[in-house]
Structure 1
Amino acid sequence: MFEFGRELRRILGQNGRHEPDISLYELMNLELLISQGRGLDIEGGRVSTKNRYDPYLESALIWREYARRTGDTLAVRKATTAAEAAGKAARTVHEAAHAALVQAEICVLGYDLFETAELLKSAETLLATGRAALDSEPGLIAAYTLAEGRLAARLAVRSGVGEELEPALLAMAHLDRAIERFDAQVRLTKTASDKIHAADARIERADLLVLVGLDRGDSRLMGAVIRDLSAVKARLDPDYEPVTFGRVSQRLAMAHVWMGQIDGAPQMISEGIAALTPKEELMFYEHSPLDWVVNTHSRALALQSLAELITEDGLSEQALKAYDLALHKPLQKELSLRAQIVNNRAGCLARRAELKGDLVSLDAAETAFKAELRVVKPGEDPVGWAILQTNLGRLYVARGDITGFMMERAEAAYALEAAQDIFLEHGLIALAATAEENLSRVRAAG
């Protein structure tokens, strides 16, 4: 890729700045995002600035992009502050609706990063307020439809996609309309930003379809995701849309993995692993740390899935190394992604021991988890403490499955009950379900 920093500074400089174009942000490295965000914050707060709306709105979009790539809590706060300032500085109905939309999108992003349930309620209120002030501009209407689809998808997942399908169908209807509207925008404007919005809408739909497919064991939904994302990927240029291209590629690879897992097809999983291990990185860590970690975590999940299907210990070792590589990068403790990686790594350890009947590996893992528990304070890091307790419980369950009896049944029940309470308190539904599943196995063992 050619050197773009100087040209971006010229395009996005103080003179002659136009409507924010999110497609340009994909080409900006983290340092340039910070520099641009700070400059816009200064411009918005300057006494001589007559129009504060434009710099504040663009600042919110810049800091949101930075937070999306890094998981930085400070960037989320900066984005929120700038979006609120843009809302106060809005001069027209269109500007007020756009500012409310950006605020809602930041709330949904915050939920994705930290699973704070209250943020979804805030997003719902902001979208309702913005809808009431929405004008007839097609691009903004499409953006609202996508935001409503995103919110509905998160609410559907929280309610349990397998227990009640209606919320997932409602979210899917929103996303289908968003895709239709952004496709129309692409045909009309042919802009890169609309193309990225259309791809984002398809990514959201793919994520929801995958969750429903996994819950119901229906590989046909994975096939639909593969066909749709393959077409999206063909329309993207990795040189000009590197972040979106990488995210589409990661989802496409994992759709192959989940389809292979459901159908018991090792070759399909291998295709997914190959796509996640290209000669050139899908995403460089320096450009988007969180996307790099997601790709590494996905590779670990894919290797683990293949190891369970063909029972090859070397694959389990590779999966554990991929988990360790993802955890080696600095991730904030509050990030739900970090909790998922730690949890899945423990599951990989326990499953490998179960398949091999390897009590030595379980003993080593138990010693390591107990050593971590001695330094993790439940008052300071309750979620981290709960994850460790869940992992201990899983190891006790695995040992019971191997030996036929569970000496630590009371310890396991205590650990899993305490962990489940903390997960529910913090809105971590998936982790709470994992704790409940293992708790049921402990009780059955009694």
Structure 2
Amino acid sequence: MLWTDMTPTGLFRSGTVPEFRMFEFGRQLRRAFETPASPPRDGMTGGDAALLDLLDLRLLKAEARAADIAAGRISARDPAMRQLDAALVWREVARRSGDAVALRKAAAAAESAATKFEAARRPAGVARARVEQAFSALLGAELFGDEGLEAAVIATLTPVAADPGPAGALALCGLAGVDGRRALRGGGVEDALAAAGRFEAPLRRLDQAGKGNVALRMAAAEQRAVLADILAGCGARLKDQPLIDCALRELALATGTLDPDYEPLMSARITAQAGAARAALAELTADTIAAADGVQQLTDALELIPRDHSPLDWTRIQAQLGQALQTLGELTDAPRAFDQALRCYDRAVFDLGGETALALHACVAAGRANCLGRLAELTGDLAVLDAAEAAMLTDLTARNPGQDPTAWALTQLGLARLYELRVEITGRGDHRLANAAMAYDAALEVFSEQGLRSLCDLAAQGLERLRERSEA
């Protein structure tokens, strides 16, 4: 995940492991460091990024502010490194919260660090800062669906890829990740395998470097998780079981390098990823037991992450659990599974609140609409769809498209899908298909204006489904 030259202090890596969870240990840290005798402005981790996993979001934000103060202090030793430390922490804040401001701070701090390293003629430092800058852009592309950032990532990482150290290995992983995301959006099996092949050499280098550096070991685990996400996503889209099997093997390798007591958040993320991949595999193989196992893994991951530790991870896992429960419901024709899935989606929607720019919001909205449709189909209760349509129409009327166009367009997207589902269930209501087409078209126009390509794809797919239905 995050990396520096420093290794964790003996305070956290020696002696016996406490019997309570390390999130409880994080609370103990908070109480210890918030005492007047412990000045907080230099932070709690001492620049050791490997310890960030133990801090909840509130403490993490305090750590980021402290890192900014330390970097700006006139008497600071090695201000370039302090600036890089601040970039690492701000990126983690953005990753857990979806805060665009924190992400901009991370990118700005990384760029400032690179400038300082260049002035001091320290090429290794420049490489590390450029990697951090590019990884901030990659996170922005993931969170907000801005594929335009990928060109900036390639331009930033290509010169760094020749670096013989860890920065070069991470740069190669970043470039492979860009190829993988493109394959995820529209490539074939060969594209997915080619992207996966580009991960092999840099991951071996990171594994070797991580034997003596905890932060680099975690970085290697994170990159394996990125690779697994690409393989599982391509496997689910292309209905290719071997790709998902490969993803599960990569996640097992990543899990084997982590200590849940000291890296609880990273461990929970990978556990959730494995559960989602297992549920996707169960959908292809019609294996009810595998689907139940996926649901159980996702439930276990939720128990590992208190909501205040990483709100966005908690929300993402709720959405993944909703999808896994839907898969289980499809395999068992059990309305109760769909009802539980709907509750997961509702919790995710509530937690996202006004963060309509997040790509996750679109996934949750689409999943919820599909879940409502299947629940109505299984139960024969069209009142479920009536209530959902009424709620969305009320929400659409209350929203001002000029003030929050993305939220308005997302509501149009969900409403269009509900219209589609009603026609699929009843076989009647051509006027609803016309209404769905208008809603998809309105949403597509807004998403295009906002530059939200992933959401444009969802709206375009809806219009394509309607066109095919019309032709049939």
Q: Give the alignment's TM-score, normalised by structure 1.
A: 0.90
Letter in 2 for 1:326: A
Letter in 2 for 1:168: A
Compared CA separation, residues 375 and 280, structure 1 to 2 (3 A) = closer
Compared CA separation, residues 120 and 395, structure 1 to 2 (3 A) = same
Please, which runs of 5 or more residues in structure 1 have no aligned partner? none
2:273 is the counterpart of 1:239: no
Other-structure match for 1:72 = 99
Compared CA separation, residues 437 and 309, structure 1 to 2 (3 A) = farther
Counterpart selection for 1:358 from 358, 371, 381? 381
Identity of aligned residues (%): 34
Other-structure match for 1:4 = 29
- When structure 1 is superposed on structure 2, of 429-438 and 250-259 the one drifting more is 429-438
1:75-154 correspondence to structure 2 within 5 Å: 75-90=102-117, 91=120, 92-131=122-161, 135-136=163-164, 138-154=165-181
Contact conserved, 1:59 with 1:79, CA < 8 A, in 2?
yes
Q: Give the alignment's TM-score, normalised by structure 2.
A: 0.85
Other-structure match for 1:220 = 242
2:305 is the counterpart of 1:283: yes
1:343-422 correspondence to structure 2 within 5 Å: 343-405=366-428, 406-422=430-446
Q: CA deviation at 1:259?
A: 0.9
Counterpart selection for 1:333 from 340, 352, 356? 356
Compared CA separation, residues 431 and 349, structure 1 to 2 (3 A) = farther
Runs ≥4 residues deviating over 6 A: 7-13
Letter in 2 for 1:103: Q
User: Alignment partner of 1:286: what SS?
Assistant: coil
Counterpart selection for 2:460 from 408, 411, 436? 436
Instruction: Measure, in 2, the Cα distance between the counterparts of 1:183 and 1:350.
Output: 46
2:273 is the counterpart of 1:251: yes
1:260-279 correspondence to structure 2 within 5 Å: 260-278=282-300
Contact conserved, 2:135 with 2:174, CA < 8 A, in 1?
yes
1:16-27 correspondence to structure 2 within 5 Å: 20-27=47-54
2:207 is the counterpart of 1:183: yes
- When structure 1 is superposed on structure 2, of 330-339 and 361-370 the one drifting more is 330-339
- When structure 1 is superposed on structure 2, of 34-43 and 361-370 the one drifting more is 34-43
Counterpart selection for 2:315 from 280, 293, 306? 293
- When structure 1 is superposed on structure 2, of 224-233 and 239-248 the one drifting more is 224-233
Q: CA deviation at 1:117?
A: 2.5
Tell me the matched-pair count.
437
Counterpart selection for 2:62 from 35, 40, 43? 35
Q: CA deviation at 1:351?
A: 2.5
Contact conserved, 2:143 with 2:358, CA < 8 A, in 1?
yes
Compared CA separation, residues 384 and 413, structure 1 to 2 (3 A) = same
Contact conserved, 1:56 with 1:82, CA < 8 A, in 2?
yes
Contact conserved, 1:64 with 1:76, CA < 8 A, in 2?
yes
Q: CA deviation at 1:197?
A: 1.3
1:54-85 CA distance string (max 9 Å, x none)? 11110000111111111112211211221121
Compared CA separation, residues 341 and 280, structure 1 to 2 (3 A) = closer
Please, which runs of 5 or more residues in structure 2 have no aligned partner? 1-21
Letter in 2 for 1:438: G
1:81-135 CA distance string (max 9 Å, x none)? 211211121121111121111111111111111112232222222113444xx54
Q: CA deviation at 1:287?
A: 1.0
Cα RMSD for the two superposed structures: 2.7
